[in-house]
Amino acid sequence: MKRIAIIQPGYLPWLGYFEQIIRSDVFVYLDDVQFTKSDWRNRNRIKTKDGVQWLTVPVVSDFGKHINQTVIADRSKWQRKHLQALRTWYNKARYFEDYFDEVGALISKQWKYISDLDIGLTDWIIDKLSLDVKVHISSDLQVKEVDKQLRIIEICNRLGCDHFYEGKKGMDYIDTSLFDRNGITVEFQDYAHPVYDQLWAKEQGFISHLSVIDLLLNHGKESADIIALRRIVDKVSQIEVKHADSV
């Protein structure tokens, strides 16, 4: 069995994104599909002393453009704002000094396309988490199929994968029988979000579904084991848990 995860690039994605990568032999950034507004391609959430704060990268959102064609807008000082937010809210995090300069240098680069920024940051996190996975970019594969599911099947076949590890939302559109007929088993993610040490947990409780940067700055090299549920942080297991959407 050779497992593959195929996911659209995201800006500093949540833990479940990396759980799909951890459990896969091959990971593909699906960058040559339509960019969707108000989605995770150009934004994510961090924790502050007042709750959740959005970090949004402004883009020139032309309808019909692919993610890898979507240009980052330069009309605002978004890089300075994002770095200031990370510095302000995470400077007391245990591993802030270990990672801030590196992630700051990546965010500060003059990226043209949102996909390049997303992929650059995610590749960096994959490296910091020491994940053993073969990474590809779908636009490099020059897939011919237009249909969403047939594109995925072609990618699986191109890369010799027979087990497709898909996010839970894929249950809304994936026809598993189509994949079965093409010799591919589909497994849908059912992720139990871990609870870990967070800043301001005593005052706010634990807030889930934030950017992975929240975990990384608080737990460093332990982060991969926490994401994969190989390590349970016992001392925070009784803290009230809040989903970020409810804060």
Distance (Å, whole) CA 171 – CA 152? 14
- pLDDT tens profile 16-43: 999 999 999 999 999 999 999 889 999 9
Q: How many domains are there within the chain?
A: 1
Question: For all residues of the chain together, what is the average pLDDT?
Answer: 93
For residue 220, what are the domain limits? 3-246
- Does the pLDDT at position 236 exceed 70? no
Q: Looking at 2-11, 25-34, 72-81, 150-159, which range is the least confident one?
A: 72-81
| CB contact burial 7-43 (16+ within 10 A = b; e otherwise) | bbbbbbbbbbbbbbbbbbbbbbbbbbeebeeeebbbb
- pLDDT tens profile 162-193: 999 999 999 999 999 999 999 999 999 999 99
Rg, C-alpha atoms of the chain: 18
0.75 exceeded by pTM? yes
- pLDDT tens profile 86-144: 999 999 999 999 999 999 999 999 999 999 999 999 999 999 999 999 999 999 999 98
Residue 3: how many other CB atoms lie within 10 Å: 18
| pLDDT confidence of residue 241 | 64
- Does the pLDDT at position 206 exceed 50? yes
Distance (Å, whole) CA 202 – CA 40? 28
| pLDDT confidence of residue 240 | 61
| pLDDT confidence of residue 74 | 82
- Does the pLDDT at position 234 exceed 80? no
Mean pLDDT of 5-12: 98
- Does the pLDDT at position 238 exceed 50? no
CA 205 to mean position of chain CA atoms: 23
The dihedrals phi and psi of 230, each to the nearest 5 degrees, come to -85, -15
- Does the pLDDT at position 246 exceed 60? no
| pLDDT confidence of residue 144 | 85
62 band by pLDDT with thresholds 50, 70 and 90: confident
| pLDDT confidence of residue 38 | 85
Q: What percent of the chain has pLDDT over 90?
A: 87
Distance (Å, whole) CA 199 – CA 204? 9
- Does the pLDDT at position 222 exceed 90? yes
Would you say 241 and 195 are in contact if contact means Cβ atoms under 8 Å apart? yes
